Structure 1
């Protein structure tokens, strides 16, 4: 018997016995690249008639086994399908539908009906068989699709489905749960992970389990807030305010919805007026929004962002606060930034030093506190409001070019002593750099010194005293006369 007339498909079960769906068809000789997929229970479309783009379908459900493989080009499509038809006949199968090439109807429409279990290649001739068999425990269905790529290979895809009742007892239930009161998730307290010298704002606290990753306070600055978004146009308003900016990292157990809803509820408790609110892509490009607010954080996902701006009125000046929250691609929370802005005007009396006062202090005590010399929080960056003090100081130094001075920085006693000493020295250095750079004061006339927290002029037990202790002094050097 020649090779081309061999029956290449054998049955694993006895032909005289009811069909066993496990391994319905045996392997083809010369089969390559075998694939197998099993699905516990699924519906499957069987084609039972085709007319152009119109198909008649029979939907069957059960346990599925899908096999696929390739045969060499020497196996023509008709030979492959005739072997399967011959074996189905031996099993007394009912052929529900059989088609080859044009009789299979529109290839694109056929592909849509059989996907995703069977992949129809519309570029090459194909054939299809759907059959119903009697199994030991019920009906078994088989669908076979093959296409031949001339000069390359024949691809065969087999779907066998055991018609079993849908297994609906796979999930266990605990009816006692319905009698239990809901339990809140307990969040680990992570205040110990807060960045150094940071704290919650007295107006609005933190979500449980969150911790501070960035903290900034500025006595007076201009803060841009979002008041509207029109397409790519972001509308902002600049507030002259005392700024407290706190960036929190939230636990992944929180959803962004829960985070933003809690801040909105806090605003409602304060009877705050909502000035603006946007969410998701309605906020526009998150990178542009972050830049418009002047925030120091990375962009994330446009879809997972939300911004809220509120206003509180009070006799001593209005207070604004806004919340900008972000989420990652999987919707877990990222950074949430809270900014509290206490409106204020620049007070000229903050700059209390003048040339006469500086002369008097140095002549009487040998030192003068440079009131009004202001720095950004926890930084050696001088604020613009310090310029008048530098003007007075430069004028004084130019009047006494032969005298030498120490520029001495001081801090309160919050934080580590070594850090405070370093910060006070850096601030003294910053003053000297401004004087030598902007006003051309000789560097030899000035020496920087950081005294840290060791020479307070007031009690560090209250905020007012701490503010007085954070200062820079000009001290006369007698050894430089």
Structure 2
């Protein structure tokens, strides 16, 4: 029921009756409106008070009664009936942290413990759904899981905000929104805060994977469903206390199309002579692994050619990473990757191990800001640094 609050009163005659207005219920007193409209002052009150009434009753802005313009469901996903897309974003190549376990803060060590994850890379789609008013976070999670399992996906991890981490392995964190902060901390451009998830108390998460076949890459899907609290509600978007908002990320993994020109041996020599180092982007590894991919062979052959042409040169093989994940994890990863390059050059290309030394820098020496995927891709590299 809508109501108009009259702040300055007047006598109104309607149907032979004169009434002094202090409150008007539009649903039961619509006959009075023509009389009210006779004065511009009364009209202003009707319009102004009607707007206040609409806001007070949480009217949804028209643009949030339908899917965001240009948004669409991912082909792999169905939506819950009655939900709408609030936010939609795609990138041809991006990374996404796929959580495989809880995020726990160690109060004794005063730091977050290492947590299990996969940094998936490939074509990315991010969607935010406002679920129907009667939907729960559990229904949301189960609906997506059921649909995806029928399409060949397996559940990698599932957790919720309920319970105690010490007692339940599937609890996502031990308070203060640490799971959201850790998993989505580098993704401000995807509207996480705009769509109220930091204010959730009842939330659930699941990660699923479909293994690629016939040359197709693996596909990862993560779903984070949260029931909004009163302090974070947004009536204009139709998000009231208890409304479930679901964030869905789909990563279709694939190798990054190499836009970098492969560095030839002569160019390597020129850059090393001029700057003391050369950055190589043609050496490839799987995410979070130190196993060289076959696509690296052409660049490794050029390094062999460089070291054959100059039999006296010694090189530091320096691994670099982006800043996704903990520093020590990336330091170890970058060191193992550098060691893998040394191993390949010695065992497969006949270069003496006395002329090579592996070293891992983690993300201590970025070539570009880590704020975007383009910058992070420039930071994931191997450098040859002259040693002698």
Report the TM range for the smaller structure's normalisation: 0.3 to 0.5
User: Which protein has the bigger strand share?
Assistant: 1
Greater RCO structure (CA 8 Å; 6+ sep): 2
Q: Rg bigger for which structure?
A: 1
**TM-score (ref. length: structure 1):** 0.33
**TM-score (ref. length: structure 2):** 0.40
